[in-house]
C-alpha cells in the first residue's frame, strides 16, 4: 500500500504531478508493490485458510475456494462487466467514475462473482466456461 501512496495522492489532488522521470518512477513503484502486495495477500489468505479448523462450517473459505474452482468463469464475468462499464460505445463511465467509484465497482463486481461461484458450488455445478473447456478438450476421447 505504501507504493501506491504517491500516485494516490496525485489522483486525490493533494500532490501536484512531478516531472516525467519522477512520474515514471512512481508508476513503476506503484506497479511493483501492487504485484508484490497481491502475492503477499494471497500468501496471507493461504496461511489463514490452512489454520482454520477443517471441521464445521467455513462459509467464507468455501465461497472463495468456489471462485478458484471456477476461475475462468469468474474472470470472464468480471471482464464482461468492466468492458460494458468502460467501453466508449456502451456505458462509457470512464470519465464520470471517480477513483472511489471505480473501487466500489471493483469490490461489487468481485462480491457478485464470489456469490455466483458459491451458488454454483452449493448446487453442484461447474462454471460454464470450465464445462466448455472440458467438453472441447475431451471431445472424441474415451473416458
69-126: pLDDT as tens digits: 999 999 999 999 999 999 999 999 988 988 889 999 999 999 999 999 999 999 999 9
Q: Which of 76, 55, 67, 80 is nearest to 114 (CA)?
A: 67
142 pLDDT exceeds 70?
no
**By CB neighbour count within 10 A (0-12 exposed, 13-18 middle, 19+ buried), where does 41 fall?**
exposed
**Rg (the chain; Cα; Å):** 20
Confidence tier at 41 by pLDDT (50, 70, 90):
confident
Long-range CB contacts (< 8 A, 24+ apart) of 79-83? 81/109, 81/112, 82/109
Q: Please say if the pLDDT value at position 1 is more than 70.
A: no
Residue with the bigger pLDDT between 8 and 73: it is 73
pLDDT of residue 82: 94
Amino acid at each position: 500500500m505504501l507504493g501506491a501512496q504517491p500516485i494516490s495522492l496525485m489522483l486525490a489532488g493533494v500532490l501536484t504531478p512531478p516531472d516525467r522521470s519522477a512520474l515514471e518512477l512512481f508508476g513503476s513503484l506503484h506497479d511493483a508493490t501492487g504485484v508484490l502486495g497481491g502475492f503477499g495477500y494471497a500468501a496471507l489468505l493461504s496461511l489463514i485458510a490452512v489454520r482454520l479448523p477443517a471441521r464445521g462450517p467455513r462459509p467464507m473459505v468455501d465461497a472463495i475456494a468456489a471462485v478458484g474452482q471456477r476461475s475462468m468463469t469468474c474472470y470472464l464475468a468480471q471482464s464482461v462487466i468492466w468492458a460494458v462499464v468502460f467501453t466508449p460505445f456502451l456505458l462509457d463511465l470512464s470519465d464520470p467514475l471517480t477513483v472511489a467509484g471505480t473501487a466500489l465497482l471493483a469490490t461489487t463486481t468481485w462480491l457478485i462473482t464470489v456469490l455466483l461461484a458459491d451458488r454454483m458450488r452449493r448446487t453442484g455445478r461447474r462454471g460454464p466456461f470450465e464445462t466448455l473447456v472440458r467438453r472441447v478438450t475431451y471431445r472424441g476421447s474415451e473416458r
